[in-house]
Amino acid sequence: MNTIIDPELKYCPRCNDEYRAEITTCATCEIELLTGTQMLELEKQKQQKKANRSMELSPDDEMVNIRKGPVIQMKELQILLEREGIPSLAVADEGGCGQGCCGTDLLLQVRMSDVQDVLAILAREHVRSTALEDHDTTYAGAVFNTAAENATCPACGCSFPTTQAECPDCGLCFA
């Protein structure tokens, strides 16, 4: 964490916003805030876990594939994971077409014991790289159901009758 944590204040464990001590819920994330002392303890635990994690992979480590893609993307992910103190391995994907017309894909592997941390890092990176941290994703899971009387647009949250195949607010087409 790159911010200074004041033990007397409260913080959102998701977005790291800072609040006065009497506030109990994050205005953005709508989750319970932690005290500065709790946040410092969490940060200490993260740093301890990172320090205890070996960057050396051994043949005995149970490895799991977490992503498949072009060489450059897998190398970028390896760098991201390395910065977080997580070792990874990029191996050739044997499932290619074999004719040389497709680019080489690699499988990115991590230890099974690191999977939860890796998934959290990848989720944070996805939110950061797609600018979703500045976007309200409340309605992202909305489904256009033609049997329902009204629908909610997953892009903007506008409610409209299902007789329309396009959101009147943002123009998203459902036909």
> Residue 146 CB: number of other CB atoms within 10 A?
9
Where are the chain's structural domains?
10-52, 63-134, 136-175
DSSP one-letter string for 57-107: --TTSPEEEEEEEEHHHHHHHHHHHHHTT---EEEE-TTS-SSS-SPPEEE
Q: Measure the CA angle with vertex 57, ends 56 and 63; round to 5°.
A: 150
Which residues fall within 8 angstroms of residue 81, CB to CB, at 6 or more apart? 87, 88, 110, 118, 121
Please tell me the CATH code under which domain 63-134 is placed.
3.30.70.1530
The string of pLDDT tens digits covering residues 27-66 is: 988 899 999 999 999 989 888 887 788 888 889 999 999 9
d(CA 128, CA 122): 10
d(CA 48, CA 4): 18
By CB neighbour count within 10 A (0-12 exposed, 13-18 middle, 19+ buried), where does 30 fall?
exposed
By CB neighbour count within 10 A (0-12 exposed, 13-18 middle, 19+ buried), where does 19 fall?
middle
From the list 56, 156, 71, 64, the residue with the least C-alpha distance to 168 is 156
The string of pLDDT tens digits covering residues 114-154 is: 999 999 999 888 878 887 666 667 777 788 888 889 999 98
> The whole model's pTM is what?
0.57
The string of pLDDT tens digits covering residues 2-34 is: 568 999 999 998 888 999 999 999 998 889 999
Q: What residues are paired with 111 via a beta bridge?
A: 63
pLDDT at 1 over 70: no
CB 15 within 8 A of CB 29: yes
Task: Please provide the distance, in angstroms rounded to a whole number, between the alpha carbons at the two ends of the chain.
Answer: 45
